[in-house]
Amino acid sequence: MLKIQRFAGVLGMTVVAAGCLQKETTHTLYLSPDGRVAWVAVEANVHSDEEDPGKRAAEEQAFIGPALLGSHRTALGLQTLGPDTLVGTTVVRGERPFHVITEAGFARIDTALERLLVGSGLPARVTLANDGDRTRLRIRFDFSRTVVDRETPVSALLEEIEHFVFVLTEGTFIAGGGFEAPDRGKAKLSKEAFDAIDRAMTARRAIELTLAWNAGSSDSRW
């Protein structure tokens, strides 16, 4: 069962794959100023820490076997989001520890994120708005509505949202609204945002996160 609370930070900031399979995961969303996004998921140093050789081999085969066919959890999750390009899988290292890269392209970041959240059972609405050189991505959760604890291919991606990094292909991010952008070129959800989502879920109220960027200037005013 998907732990929705993982998204709110209740279960901590470390994601461990099923069983005893360990991995280092990064989801980099390369964001164009107009809202297009190239989603690149990297699963590195993938290995089982199971002491029993037979069980260890079985767990590792359960990961690398589907990855070689492009049908592992990450690929299925991205495919379910309805990308505008084919989902591509590259097995950089086919021996333990494994290293796999999965990629997909989306015409709109708001569509991809809304499918991710709603498909995981969260009452969410994601919009993208342009005002000259300024673009705003808004993520609104309405926790007065029912949250459905749902296990789907996309929920496997949501479980790793702490490892999502948004990287602008050009322009600068504006920090705030639940995101932190220390170098203005990349951004991620802040710890404060996870805490705020947790409180909103408990209080059964709405909450909105905002990520904004400028296409060319470095003006930091909202």
Question: What is the pLDDT confidence band of residue 10, given thresholds at 50, 70 and 90?
Answer: very low
pTM: 0.87
Mean pLDDT value across the chain: 88
Q: Is the pLDDT of residue 11 over 50?
A: no
Mean pLDDT, range 134-145, rounded to an integer: 95
Domain boundaries, the chain: 19-106, 109-160+172-214
Mean pLDDT, range 172-185, rounded to an integer: 88
Q: Is the pLDDT of residue 31 over 70?
A: yes
Q: Is the pLDDT of residue 29 over 50?
A: yes
Question: What is the pLDDT confidence band of residue 175, given thresholds at 50, 70 and 90?
Answer: low
Mean pLDDT, range 60-77, rounded to an integer: 96
Q: Is the pLDDT of residue 167 over 90?
A: yes
**Between residues 5 and 72, the one the model is more confident about:** 72
pLDDT more than 90, % of the chain: 74
Q: Is the pLDDT of residue 1 over 80?
A: no
Give the closest residue to 129 by CA, choosing from 63, 221, 44, 213.
213
Q: Is the pLDDT of residue 217 over 70?
A: no
pLDDT per position as a tens digit, 37-47: 999 999 999 99
Residue 214 CB: number of other CB atoms within 10 A?
21
Mean pLDDT, range 196-202, rounded to an integer: 92
Q: Is the pLDDT of residue 3 over 70?
A: no
Question: What is the predicted pLDDT for the residue at 147?
Answer: 87
CA distance 174 to 160: 24
